[in-house]
Amino acid sequence: MKFGPKYKICKRLGPDVFEKCQTPRFALVASRTPKTRRGGKRGGRPSRTDYGKHMLEKQRVRFTYGLSERQFARYVKESARSTGVKPAEALYRRIESRLDNVVYRLSLARTRAQARQLVSHGHITINDRKMTTPSYAVRVGERVGVRQSKRDRGVFASRSELLKEGADTTIPPVWLSFDSGKMEGVVSAWPAAENAGAQSLDLQAVIEFYSR
């Protein structure tokens, strides 16, 4: 899915949105961007309203996970109707448990976009069965791995070598476990918002945006 100029989007929403922006090159480009002058004839740029802040947060989360507006809105509505768990927590669980995101969290892909492509091309399995739907909601206890015939080919070749040499130090989130020998991960628990990386996402603001 294409979102337009990524550097431009990152300047507006923050460098965490795309992996491409989490580089020294982007930091250099951002530092050279002239800052908006305030206090002009009209008093400078007005401060953002709560609606504006919530909209930016919605865009930030949506772009981070590579979701279309229609798809993301559906996730929010489903989360708002959830029982036994707060809407923001339900939303985090839903977007984190997407198959493409799980593949990314297991470091089987460098980016979520690449993970989405790997799933679509049939390189990923769920419980040893080929899965080609990136949005598939992985459940607790399910195994996510690389097809046997693909483990030493293409993008997985370098990953396989690092694992054999013991040079890979990637640690998956606490709700995932990874077997380097099988190149396979297991969802051991539901993703929780307090997991590493979730602190930067204000999902409650997203819920409030769609509740207007």
Shared domain for 2 and 90, answered yes or no, is yes
Tokens of 145: 């791995």
| The pLDDT of residue 40 | 43
Shared domain for 63 and 150, answered yes or no, is no
Shared domain for 20 and 73, answered yes or no, is yes
| The pLDDT of residue 38 | 41
Give how many domains the chain has, as a whole number. Answer: 2
**Contact between 196 and 173 (Cβ < 8 Å):** yes
How far is C-alpha 12 from the chain's CA centre? 18
Return the number of other C-beta atoms located less than 10 Å from residue 164's C-beta: 11
| The pLDDT of residue 151 | 83
**Contact between 193 and 92 (Cβ < 8 Å):** yes
Type of residue at 13: L
Shared domain for 6 and 87, answered yes or no, is yes
Question: Which CATH number characterizes residue 145's domain?
Answer: 3.10.290.10
Would 43 be classed as within a structural domain? no
Shared domain for 71 and 142, answered yes or no, is no
Shared domain for 19 and 90, answered yes or no, is yes
DSSP character string of 93-151: HHHHTBHHHHHHHTTSSSSHHHHHHHHHTT-EEETTEE---TT-BPPTT-EEEE-GGGT
| The pLDDT of residue 37 | 44
β 184-187/143-146 pair status: antiparallel
Range of the domain at 164: 106-187
Question: Which CATH number characterizes residue 61's domain?
Answer: 1.10.1050.10
**Residue spans of the chain under pLDDT 70:** 1-47, 160-170, 195-199
| The pLDDT of residue 200 | 74
Coil, helix or strand for 16? Answer: coil
Continuous segment of H or E residues that includes residue 64: helix 50-65
Would 37 be classed as within a structural domain? no
The tens digit of pLDDT for each residue in 78-110 reads 999 999 899 999 999 999 999 999 999 998 988
